[in-house]
Chain A
């Protein structure tokens, strides 16, 4: 479609569980869908392993895992072209994996090793893979959003039809930078100079604060209206729904050079970070209920219904994920720490 639809509230918005039901549909490219299923299984397994490695003291600092949200990053990254680029925040492991960063290099980064995607100097919150168009994970909430707007501008300024995706959390929508950046995106988009797709990953919480307690208007997609940016809210738990929305939105952004936003309703199964052990802000039952709409299980069910997946294939995917993650951990463990000289490199480029 040429123009994305204006925002229409799609649900009552009180959690991923109540988001719009998705009608059954045909699976266009079975091999590709299966490949994405396997990637999501790997990402989930990868995150479980990072939590374990954190407890073993192999991973330091903060660790924010993505479990529960996989369909969002998968759906959008599946529709990106190789030369497109994206930014996200600190919950970034799955984004790197889905974009094709080697799992070993991602794990090595978390382990603080020289072979990590950022040579051990960024850590979990700052994954980068610029050759693959991944312009970073960022740790200051909302701080990366203006960067993505400028990057989108640069893409058009330099010519061509590349687009920039910016993933952000529901909490980040209340940062000043978000509003300043969206206003500029709206303005620059009027000239066709802002090919930006903003994806609000509404996982219902910013740390322990639910959306309703941090946003005066909980229909987050509606907030883009103030900046003339068309936005819609989708079910972020269903890979096919996400992917279809991503395809439409990316096409619109690419052809128009104007920003579009999508609020994907999702849920974080794990704690906010590795230190969020008791999660006093929500009940076990809340999490269990959300797990009933596990994005991996939803995709699995659809693939089974389409006759593309059976028990043996599910088991094979799990075994494959197990092996990939075990290899990643082994690679990370065996990799050397950065040399002491690395302390002083990458502060400046060549001498001015």
Chain B
């Protein structure tokens, strides 16, 4: 089992899938000659040539639309979104075409398309370049929304995405590209909709995905030092959402904290909290806590940026609140 970075795991998977299936083509801005903004596609132009590694103009609507057309004809395009912030220019194509074509064609076409790239905050990239858009996409039927937290997941989920039959919103996290982890050899496709319990515990369930899994684990360590055993669940995919794993855990711990980097209102954590309320209301010993990004555009100044992002302290406090070891903030919920 080799150790790979998150970045190399993604790149290796692209290579494996391109070697395996000539229908796989890559499109995106500066993925060829420039080698990719995050070097995910380093050397791939040389390896596969410009017909399979397509440097596109800065035309998100255009190239996502073109990739959908390719997919309708049986290719398996993997689009690199330089960062997910730019996907808003392609939003109509993703929502109105990719997600719905199978449906409104009465099942006559399918769109095996992957759109991948970094989602979430980097370091001091400020308001337009530090957004977490997962809830917006997870709202849409017809899409899969995937958010790997580790190199092994990045590989396993990307493999499933590329081999699938539907459009996949594949959310990487820029802050994770350099992180390393064991990646199993061989065919390691991971199914969508299957969460992983990454740490067992009986006192409180902490649900997270993407970069927040690491934050949740750090919080769990600290809670453990205080005698609180947190169970940490890594969702891996938001759509489909593994409701069963979350509910099974909460029914045992009777307490839940949901962690997301994105804005609080109408976010993924709201959906998960509602799901817990619907499925485990009688078994809850405390309100479900949400730990989220602040409800503001991302500021530039580093001190403000850190305040805007959730961290392990926030998770620790929220977990303690569910155990009534910490007072609720005055005026109701405030931290995030």
Contact = CB atoms under 8 A, between A and B. Distances in A.
A126 B105 CA distance: 7
Interface of B: 25, 50-51, 56-57, 59, 61-75, 77, 92-93, 96-97, 101-110, 141-142, 144, 160-161, 164-166, 191-193
A184 B160 CA distance: 29
19 contacts: A118-B105, A122-B106, A126-B105, A128-B108, A135-B109, A145-B65, A146-B66, A147-B69, A147-B97, A150-B65, A150-B66, A154-B73, A154-B74, A155-B73, A157-B70, A158-B73, A183-B57, A184-B56, A352-B165
Contacts of A146: 61-66, 68-69, 93
Contacts of A281: none
B107 A345 contact: yes
Ranked nearest first, the 10 interchain pairs of A and B with the lowest CB-CB distance are A146-B65, A180-B62, A150-B69, A349-B165, A150-B66, A119-B106, A154-B73, A118-B106, A147-B69, A180-B59
Interface in A72-115: 85, 87
Contact of A350 (B67, B72, B165): B165
Nearest to A130: B108
B53 to A, nearest CB: 13
A136 B101 contact: yes
Contacts of B102: 346-349
Contacts of B56: 184
Contact of B65 (A85, A117, A177, A193): A177
Contact of B109 (A123, A130, A177): A130
Given A121-B105, A136-B101, 17 more contacts: A129-B108, A135-B109, A140-B92, A140-B96, A143-B65, A143-B96, A146-B93, A147-B69, A149-B66, A151-B72, A154-B70, A180-B65, A183-B57, A183-B62, A348-B102, A349-B102, A352-B165
A181 interface: yes
Interface residues of A, number: 51
A172 interface: no
Contacts of B110: 349
A165 to B, nearest CB: 13
Interface in A315-352: 345-352
B73 A151 contact: yes
A187 B32 CA distance: 15
A304 B75 CA distance: 48
Contacts of B105: 118, 121-122, 126, 128, 130, 136, 346
Contact of A121 (B61, B72, B103): B103
A280 interface: no
Given A149-B65, A154-B70, A154-B74, A352 B106 contact: no
Contacts of A37: none
A155 B72 CA distance: 11
Interface of A: 85, 87, 116-123, 126, 128-130, 135-136, 138-140, 143-155, 157-158, 176-177, 180-181, 183-184, 187, 191, 193, 345-352
Nearest to A129: B108
B165 A348 contact: yes
Contact of B72 (A119, A147, A176, A346): A147
B194 to A, nearest CB: 10
Contacts of B141: 347
Contacts of A85: 73
Nearest to B113: A150
Contacts of A151: 69-70, 72-73
Nearest to A119: B106
Contacts of B144: 348, 352
Contact of A128 (B63, B65, B106, B193): B106
A94 to B, nearest CB: 19
Contacts of A347: 102-103, 141-142
A130 B103 CA distance: 14
A348 B166 contact: yes
A192 to B, nearest CB: 10
A66 to B, nearest CB: 20
B72 A143 contact: no
Nearest to A349: B165
A187 to B, nearest CB: 7
B74 A150 contact: no
A149 B165 CA distance: 21
Given A143-B92, A191-B51, A349 B65 contact: no
Contacts of B59: 180-181, 183-184
A55 B65 CA distance: 36
A123 B100 CA distance: 13
B164 A352 contact: yes
A344 to B, nearest CB: 10
A234 to B, nearest CB: 26
Contacts of A350: 165
Contacts of B96: 139-140, 143
Nearest to B105: A128
B106 A150 contact: no
Contact of A348 (B51, B61, B142): B142
A27 to B, nearest CB: 36
Contacts of B104: 118, 121-123, 126, 128
B283 to A, nearest CB: 29
B69 A154 contact: yes
A184 B69 contact: no
Nearest to B77: A150
Given A121-B106, A143-B92, A184 B63 contact: yes
Contacts of A87: 69
A89 to B, nearest CB: 13
A313 B74 CA distance: 45
Contacts of A181: 59, 62, 65-66
A126 B106 CA distance: 9
A159 B166 CA distance: 24
A143 B66 contact: no
B62 A118 contact: no
Nearest to A126: B104
